[in-house]
Amino acid sequence: MDVYIARQPIFDRKLAIFGYELLYRRSMNNFYEGLDDTQATAELINNAFLSMHFSELTERTRAFINFSDDMLIDEIPKLLPRDTVFIEILETVEVTDELLEAVKSLRKSGYTIVLDDFVFSQRHLPLVDVADMIKIEFNKMNTAVQKLILKKYRHKIKFIAEKVETREEFQLAMDLGYDYFQGYFFRKPVIIKSKEIAYLNINLIRVLELLHHNEPDFEEIREVISTDIGLSYKLLRLANSIMIGKRHEIKSVKRAMVHLGLLEMRKWIYIIMLKDFQVIENKELIKVCLIRAKMMEIIAIERGKNSENGDYFLVGMFSEIDVLLNREMKDLVAEMPLKDSVRTALLGENNDMKKTLDYLINLEKNEDINQKGKHELMPIYLEALAWVSNIQAI
């Protein structure tokens, strides 16, 4: 049986990921379907902790999970780790003495209490006294009211601006003093047109050109890498990473190249190239590109196209590079040593790689994908997500 979970990142004031809100889903449809709150949370917990890898879902940060009145009163959250699970209380709860005592008990036990979509009405005020954090729907509450609320309570409570959808809203929330931020604004790259246009690292391009020769010159590649301090450091860090696996520390570029192998080096040079352009504002988009790349690689292998899996990987990886660099795709692909089939796909011309990429993008948007297709892709998505989590520190 297939299980599903949606997640949305929550960022701190430095735009580092603080945690993820985990949301119940019963299919690949990215909206809430059907169940009452108690049953939905029960299935979410089961899926997150028993069917999936909780630490991978949250990328070893924190999970924000909604709990119903009944689950709070029954102290169900105490079954979960207090350091990594934050308890969200919905604005729809009935504030009774029994509920308040249950919440006080959870807080005393070390759990973080978060009031979700909170409404500052008289009947809800008792919950403020037991809250550690409060989420406010930023675009629904009057700015002047928000300012008064934060001024009154921020000495003892952290505030999360929810449903932040534009750069202007984010800046206003920062100015008002919010501690954390959540919303669609953070799901997309922010292109600052006045920003200096970025160019591809010439040494990376040179290494890639050499790697694409029919008989790559190992020594020439080593010389190019060795003359670039930053590239040498990244290659050594990669070769010594936990993900690659090793018995002894690798201290030279030559040994790192032998350890990785030329084919793996080609893939990782592309990853280094992509991550070179990572800044706070496009970090999530780069993660999306890496997930697409890995999914396309797996799909190619499953289709028996082992000799082309690296090309599928590249199409997914560079699918948004024009957005990341604010440059024309035709100019970028002209700078990189790519096969004609990869170049064709990135330029939007129709081939199997482009069709596969479009299929995955439609999946991300929840468009034009039948349920059978969604179910089949879920294990591939989870494998890609785990892979991306492993390379974040490299």
Q: Which two tokens stand for residue 294?
A: 């890995």
DSSP single-letter state for residue 184: G
pTM exceeds cut of 0.75: no
CA angle in degrees (0–180, nearest 5) for 183-293-2:
70
Question: What gap in Å lies between CA 212 and CA 168, rounded to an integer?
Answer: 45
Where are the chain's structural domains?
4-187, 202-391
At 392, the amino acid letter reads Q
Long-range contacts of 69-73 (CB under 8 A, 24+ apart): 69/93, 69/94, 69/99, 70/38, 71/38, 71/41, 71/42, 72/99, 72/102, 72/103, 72/106, 73/98, 73/99, 73/102
Fold classification of 202-391 is Hypothetical protein af1432 (1.10.3210)
Q: Which two tokens stand for residue 116?
A: 């979700």
Q: Is 6 helix (H, G, I), strand (E, B) or coil?
A: strand
CATH H superfamily, domain 4-187: EAL domain (3.20.20.450)
Per-residue pLDDT of the chain (394 residues; tens, 9 = 90+): 456 677 888 888 888 889 988 887 764 544 444 556 777 788 788 777 766 667 777 888 899 999 988 889 988 888 888 999 999 998 888 889 999 999 999 999 999 999 988 767 777 788 998 999 999 988 888 899 999 999 999 889 999 999 888 778 888 999 999 999 988 765 432 222 223 334 456 677 778 778 777 788 888 888 888 767 667 767 777 777 644 445 567 777 788 787 777 767 777 777 777 766 666 566 777 788 888 988 999 999 999 988 888 889 889 888 888 877 767 888 888 877 778 898 999 998 889 999 999 988 887 776 555 565 667 788 888 888 888 876 654 4
Closest C-alpha among 3, 14, 80 to residue 44:
3
